[in-house]
Structure 1
Amino acid sequence: MDFRLTEERQMLQDSLRRFLAETVTPETIALTTETDTGIDPDLWAQLTEIGLPGAMFTEDQGGFGGHGFDLMVVFEELGRAGLPVPLVETVLAGALGAEAEGLIGGQIVAVAHGEPTARYDLNRVETRAERVAEGWRITGTKAVVHHAPAAEALILSARTSGAVDAEEGISLFLVQPDDVTLRDYPLQGGARAAEVTIDTILPESALIGEAGTAFDALQIAHARATAALCAEALGMMETIKTLTVDYLRQRRQFGQPIGKFQALQHRMADVLIEIEQARSAVINLCGNLEGPDRDLHVSAAKNLIGRTARLVVEEAIQMHGGIGMTMEYALGHFAKRLTMVDHRFGDTDYHLERFIRLAS
């Protein structure tokens, strides 16, 4: 099998890597995180202008990508730069029925699905939506809604109930920021999220698709978003590897670079092998996003990425010594951001159990 990128994907990778290398630093990310929205609107506008959101959608949807390897190319480069932008939210919202044209144009739509007691279970939704004369009365709380402070709209899931049996199930609603209450906070590794509380009546037009039928769309959306997150983690591992190798070459002890010490060479070799295994897992996942065993590959990749991320972070900090713990050094930002990957869309334990269940 030929794993080389197509000419179009190679051009996208090269141009994106150059752009991010020239514009993004850990210092600018830290400053942006402290703003009200947690993103740099000028940078997001520039990324939109070069067509980054369009790579998340197929040509039929108005984009120029939309497949697993398009996600991998884009998110690996974002990971290399350690840049938190609401592109995972674009992937989620696009798969959940948000208007593709608006998302391609840079519209930020946050997805409010996870709840305080859900523990990664997509089907556990306690937010309620009940039919009333004016439309739908929705009450509930959503947890850790990424990029909610910057969102122009939110897609919110709720358990619907009504006179028609088909409405029993999970439904999706397009909600405006004024319809919810946000309690926002900074995230480890950059950007901001919020706890979202809703208690309002929405018109019938706020319903996305048919009532009670959103679970399949949620599964597809989270599979695609997990693939994107795994690719982003891979990019962060590559940057951490580069930082560590450079440090081992430059730091001198007993008159020679510490990279010449055999014990550190063995540890670095283990890191390189694990990163290559992680790359294979991401390639495998992105190649099977539209296949019948999609969920099995999602859990296999997310479990491996979580375990590898922990190893890479721990080994890099230990080989750096004290400087690896400081936030002034780039490793600190990447270590925090990579560590948090395991806590979104299911951690290693969750996906190990899910893999066993799906494989049996």
Structure 2
Amino acid sequence: MDFNFTEEQQMVRDGLARLVREEYGSEARREVIASDAGWRPEIWAQLAELGILGMPFSEEDGGFGGGAIDAMVVMEEFGKGLVVEPFVPTVVCAGGFLKHAGTAAQKEEHIGGIVSGERIFAFAYAEPKGRYDLADLQTTAKKDGDGYVLNGHKAVVIGAPWASHLIVTARTSGEQRDKDGISVFIVDKSAEGVVTRDYATFDGRRASEVYFENVSVPADALIGAEGAALPLIERVADEAVAALCAEVCGAMKVANYMTLEYSKQRKQFGVPIGKFQVLQHRMADMYTEYEQAVSLTYFATLKLDAPERERKLAVSTAKVRIGQAAHKIGQEAIQIHGGNGMTDEYAIGHYFKRLTLFDSEFGNVDHHMKRHIALSAG
């Protein structure tokens, strides 16, 4: 199997690396996440101009004919700079729903706006009592004439403060945890009855609590078949996990580099602390964890188009091991930096926060361990 990137993918990687290096230095990022907006629309417009937002879409849908590998390349470079712009919610998640199950009219209406950077989405799937179960839904969508009326509460909707539209999972029939009876809708965030409470997350991004209070949506807001959306949701969630794994690999690479450089400069007892064998062993373990994470990210990404069980096993394997690696590298990096690592001025603390929060997105280590065990037993 050829693991080399194409010439086009390498060009994208080089261009993004330059953009992140020039626009996402640690000081610039601190200023951005401390601002009222929390992001830079001009960076989003630049990504659109470079074709980054259209890479994963087919040429027929108005994109540039890429796929999951291209998204992986993008996300790894984003991870190196802790980029906060909403690529995963908009391009990976919303784009995934539209690619896999959108009607021709839905694709025509929304994909062009995503590619141009004019339309931003957030994926509203998690609920306060759901505990990573994509089928555990209290949000409802009830038939009302030709359309639906949505009621419910979605928690920690990443990127929602910047979004123009939401992808919403809701129960159209059945009980709270039934696998059937789940549907997916496109909702205009400005629709009457949509209420948001925005806040900054631990790792510097922005999210919202989103409340739906008798929100009316037309019939053509439904993506896919009514009541049969869980397999589609699981597929898009797995694609998001693979993209996030690539992002955290980029963050781990930089955290390792920062820690190694710091160990060469920080002196104790008159010598650089990197000369101490115990720290050398710990940094070697960090590097090993990173290399395994990269391999598992490739593995999961390449399995996204495999049969359902095979895809799920690969993604859960990656999420478990990369979650463990992110925890270890983040903790070790902070410990080796000592007290400096706990200050906001040192960039390593920001990488630690991102590596830590990765575990909670789309299922933590325990959740994916249980999913892997269940799939293996079946």
Q: Which runs of 5+ in 1 are unaligned?
A: 163-167
Measure, in 1, the Cα distance between the counterparts of 2:283 and 2:326: 14
Partner of 2:55, secondary structure, is: helix
Q: Which residue of 2 aligns with 1:165?
A: none
Partner of 1:56, secondary structure, is: coil
Does 2:116 align with 1:105?
Answer: yes
Structure 1 residue runs of 4+, over 3 Å off?
A: 34-37
CA deviation profile, 1:55-98 (whole Å, cap 9, x unmatched): 22233333225423212111000000111111001210011126
Partner of 2:209, secondary structure, is: strand
Measure, in 2, the Cα distance between the counterparts of 1:134 and 1:302: 40
Measure, in 2, the Cα distance between the counterparts of 1:103 and 1:302: 27
- Report percent identity of matched pairs: 46
Q: Is the 8 A contact 2:327 2:356 kept in 1?
A: yes
Q: Is the 8 A contact 2:153 2:212 kept in 1?
A: yes
Q: Is the 8 A contact 1:38 1:149 kept in 2?
A: no
Deviation at 1:35, TM superposition (A): 4.0
Question: Residue type matched to 1:105 in 2?
Answer: S
Cα gap change, 1:36/1:154 in structure 2, threshold over 3 Å: closer, same or farther?
farther
Does 2:38 align with 1:23?
Answer: no
Measure, in 1, the Cα distance between the counterparts of 2:187 and 2:149: 12
Deviation at 1:354, TM superposition (A): 0.5
Give aligned pairs, total.
355
Question: Residue type matched to 2:319 in 1?
Answer: K
TM-score norm. by structure 1 comes to 0.94
Deviation at 1:272, TM superposition (A): 0.8
Shifted more, 252-261 versus 72-81: the winner is: 252-261
Higher relative contact order (CA 8 A, sep 6+): 1
Q: Which residue of 2 aligns with 1:181?
A: 195
Deviation at 1:101, TM superposition (A): 1.8
Q: Is the 8 A contact 2:141 2:150 kept in 1?
A: yes
CA root-mean-square deviation: 1.6
Shifted more, 297-306 versus 254-263: the winner is: 254-263
Deviation at 1:282, TM superposition (A): 0.6
Q: Which residue of 2 aligns with 1:316?
A: 333
CA deviation profile, 1:186-217 (whole Å, cap 9, x unmatched): 01112210010001222323223332122222
Deviation at 1:247, TM superposition (A): 0.5
Partner of 2:151, secondary structure, is: strand
Measure, in 2, the Cα distance between the counterparts of 1:37 and 1:65: 32
CA deviation profile, 1:28-75 (whole Å, cap 9, x unmatched): 333333444432111111111111111222333332254232121110
Measure, in 2, the Cα distance between the counterparts of 1:2 and 1:248: 36
Partner of 1:76, secondary structure, is: helix
Deviation at 1:274, TM superposition (A): 1.0
Q: Which residue of 1 aligns with 2:303?
A: 288
Measure, in 2, the Cα distance between the counterparts of 1:262 and 1:33: 38
Question: Residue type matched to 2:322 in 1?
Answer: I
Equivalent of 2:314 in 256, 273, 297: 297
Q: Which runs of 5+ in 2 are unaligned?
A: 99-106, 175-179
Does 2:60 align with 1:60?
Answer: yes
Measure, in 2, the Cα distance between the counterparts of 1:138 and 1:354: 30
